[in-house]
Amino acid sequence: MATEVKVPALGESVTEATVGEWLKQPGDAVAADEPIVSLETDKVAVEVPSPVAGVLMEFVVELGETVEVGAVIAKIEAGATGAAKGEEAGRAAEQREESNEADTASSSDGSLTMSPAVRRAVIEHGVDPTTIKGSGKDGRLTKEDVVAAAKAKKDSSGAAATSAPAPSPSPTPAPAAKGERREERVKMTRMRQTIAKRLKGAQEEAALLTTFNDCDMTAVIEARNAYKDVFAKKHGIKLGFMSFFAKAAALALKDVPSVNAQIDGDEIVYHDYIDLSVAVSAPNGLVVPVVRSIDAMSFAEIELAIADFGKRAKAGELTMEDMKGGTFTISNGGVFGSLMSTPIINPPQSAVLGLHRIEDRPVAVNGEVVIRPMMYLALSYDHRIIDGREAVTALKIMKEAIEDPMRMLIDL
C-alpha cells in the first residue's frame, strides 16, 4: 500500500505553500527522511522529507501548484528497493515527463525557461545558460550541466569556457538578431509576491521618513586591520564591519527605546532586548533572518551568526524559526555599490538602518581638508511612533560609536 507524503506544518500563521522543485522523480528510490520536494512559503523554501524508505511512485500535485498544510503531494511505495515496474513504471515515466515541462527548455524564440534548481545554479555559479548544451530531455539544461560548465570555466584558468557574465537574478537570453525584440515572462515566486505585498503595505500604512548622516570609517578600518588576523585565528571567522554596526545599533536602541519598539493596535510595545534582522540575499529574493539578543553577544558571536545565516540563505536552508520576530533591521546596500538609499522598514518593526559603500572623500578636520573613508548612513523610521529628534539622536549615537569604537567597549 502506498504511503502518502503530506505538506507538513510550515510555521506560525503559514497555511499554504507553492510546489517549487521536485528533488526526486517517480521511479527513484528514496531513503527515509530524504528530501523529495521543495516548497516555497511566504518567507523560505521548505524541504519535505520522505516518511518511509521505498520508491517514489507518483506526484499528486503539479510543479507551481499551491498546496495547503496537510494536503497529499506524493505517494511512495514503502519497502521497495528499485525503480517502479510494469504499469507503475509506466505511470512514473508519464509523470516524469509532465513534471519536466517546467524544467529548462529552449523555446521557439530562443529564450529560456528554467526550473528553480537550474536557475539557482546559474545564479550561484555565474554562467551563461545560453552557452551550455543541455543533456536533459529535448536538450533541456540540468543542474549537473550548469555545475559542469562552471567547473570547466574554472579549470580553463580564465579562458571563457562558458562566456559567463556577472550573476543575474534572471536568465540571459541568447543575443537577438538585428532588429529582433524579445520578452520573457517568469511567474513571480510566492516569496517575491510576499516581499512586494509587505513593502507596499509598509509604504501605505507607516508614516515613513528617512534621516541621513555620514560616518568617518577611519577608526573602524584601523581597528579591523590591526586585529583581523588574530581575531580570525582565535574565533575562526573574519572580523567584518557588520558586527561593529550591530554593536553601535545596540547602544543607540538602548538609549532611544522607541526605535526598537513597534505599534500593536492602539498600543506601543517596547522591547528590553534587541533581535536584529539582517537583510541577506537568497536565490528567490531578499530575506531577513534574526540574530537574537545582539546586545548580549560578542563581536565574534555576531559575525559567526551572520555568516551562518548568509551561507544557509544562499543554500536555501533557512527555516521559518530563523525568520521569526526581529525588532530592528540593518540592510547593507554597500556590498552592491550603493552610495545612498532610503530603506523601507520591515513591518511590524519601526526602523531600519541602511549601510552604503565606503569611499574616500574630502572632509574638513580641525580646519584642514583631508581625505577620509566615508560612508552615508540612512535611518528610515515610522514617524507615527518615532519623533524626528529620537531618530536623529539614535543615528548620531551610531555614528559616534563607529567613529570612536571605544564607546562600544565602555557603553557610552
33, 138, 229, 383: the active-site residue: 383
What residues does CATH 2.40.50.100 cover in the chain?
2-102
pLDDT of residue 306: 92
33, 138, 387, 404: the active-site residue: 387
In tens, the pLDDT along 208-232 reads: 999 999 999 999 999 999 999 999 9
pLDDT of residue 199: 82
In the Cβ-directed half-sphere of 263, how many Cα atoms lie within 13 Å?
Answer: 17
With contact defined as beta carbons under 8 Å apart, do 105 and 113 qualify? yes
Helix (H, G, I), strand (E, B) or coil at 355: strand
CB count within 10 Å of CB 168 equals 11
Which residue do the cell numbers 580570525 mark? Answer: 232
Enter the DSSP assignment of 245.
H
Residue 262 Cα to chain centre, angstroms: 24
What residues does CATH 3.30.559.10 cover in the chain?
191-410
Q: Is the peptide bond before 348 cis (omega within 30 degrees of 0)?
A: yes
d(CA 182, CA 175): 10
Backbone angles phi, psi at 398, to 5 degrees: -60, -45
Grid coordinates given for 99: 513534471
Question: Domain 2-102 maps to which CATH number in 2.40.50.100, 3.30.1600.10, 3.20.20.210, 3.30.360.10?
Answer: 2.40.50.100
d(CA 154, CA 136): 23
d(CA 387, CA 124): 42
CB count within 10 Å of CB 337 equals 9
383 is catalytic: yes
pLDDT of residue 218: 96
Q: How far is CA 46 from CA 9, 124, 140, 259, in A?
A: 10, 19, 25, 32
pLDDT of residue 120: 66
d(CA 308, CA 232): 15
Look at the chain and count its residues. 412
pLDDT of residue 408: 83
Question: Residue 217's closest CA among 412, 407, 402, 364?
Answer: 402
pLDDT of residue 92: 45
Ranges of residues in the chain with a pLDDT under 70 are 1, 11-13, 42-43, 80-117, 119-120, 123, 136-138, 155-177, 283-285, 412
Q: Which CATH class is domain 191-410?
A: alpha beta
- What lies within 8 Å, CB to CB, of 146 at 6+ separation is 118, 121, 122, 125, 127, 129, 132
- Could you tell me whether strands 328-332 and 351-355 are parallel, antiparallel, or unpaired per DSSP bridges? parallel
pLDDT of residue 379: 97
pLDDT of residue 281: 78
